[in-house]
Amino acid sequence: MTDASSGRWRDGENVLVGDVFVPVQASLVWLALLVMAMVMLLPALRNAGLVQAGPGISGKLFGQPWVTHALTISADLVLLFYLWRIARRVSDEALAARFRPVRRSLLILALLGGAAFAIGTIIASAWLVMHKVIEVHPAPGDKLIEPGPLWQLAVSFVAVGIVAPLVEEFYFRGVFLSWLGRKAGYWVAVPVSALVFALLHLRFASHPGPEGWMFTGIIACVGLSNGLLAVFTRSLWPPILFHAGYNTMLFALSVASLLVR
């Protein structure tokens, strides 16, 4: 967290261990309850004709990207509520300092930098695949969108391009980085927070083998870039926009791939 008057990240801010873990736990509990409720409501949805009957109906429902993204938005909003409460408890000034304004040119560069990084990682991954250095096997959970109504596309974009960058950066480059930086210093906190950020995306689990660790490394690089942006700009806006640019470019390329089929 920054001190708006001194312009540096304060070492004495009161971010507690519980502040790091409780928001995530609450978000996961809410997500589990929501999934359980949806499973219990499936018969009613089927009887109402809102969901087509058939074998594996629950798998088909939860396998749709827009459903996954809707659940993610819900869980992220719970997480955001707890993060806002934590920041307010520390002080209103500290909350304002997290989102202190920076130059518009820097924000534009961060947004374009995230988009360029996404393009670069795709090109590099394609080169590795083309030269048979690594094999990539797409997993169902990697789908950002599916053919469907425009509102489903809108739900997916809000989750990927807006909510995820805001909430994840508030947590990882806000609360978590501040807490770890106070404990171990920011030269340790930045790479460690980037590593935790990457591991929690579970790409090594959805893509067993070298490809999963390649994806994990890419996400870690995003986290490292955003950590450095947060520390050196003393604001969360640049990492949020870098993250949004990265996710939005991946989303746009997914849309383009559907259009050319």
Averages of pLDDT over runs of 10 residues in the chain (261 residues) are 41 59 77 74 62 50 71 87 77 68 94 97 90 78 69 88 94 88 89 94 84 92 96 94 96 83 65
- Amino acid letter, residue 200: L
Distance CA 106, CA 31 (A): 35
What pLDDT is recorded for position 107?
96
All structural domains of the chain with their residue ranges:
2-259
168, 250 contact by CB (below 8 A): no
The beta strand positions in the chain, using DSSP E, are: 2-3, 8-9
Neighbouring C-beta atoms of residue 244, cutoff 10 Å: 21
pLDDT at 65: 72
Q: What is the pTM for the complete model shown?
A: 0.82
For residue 131, the SS3 value is coil
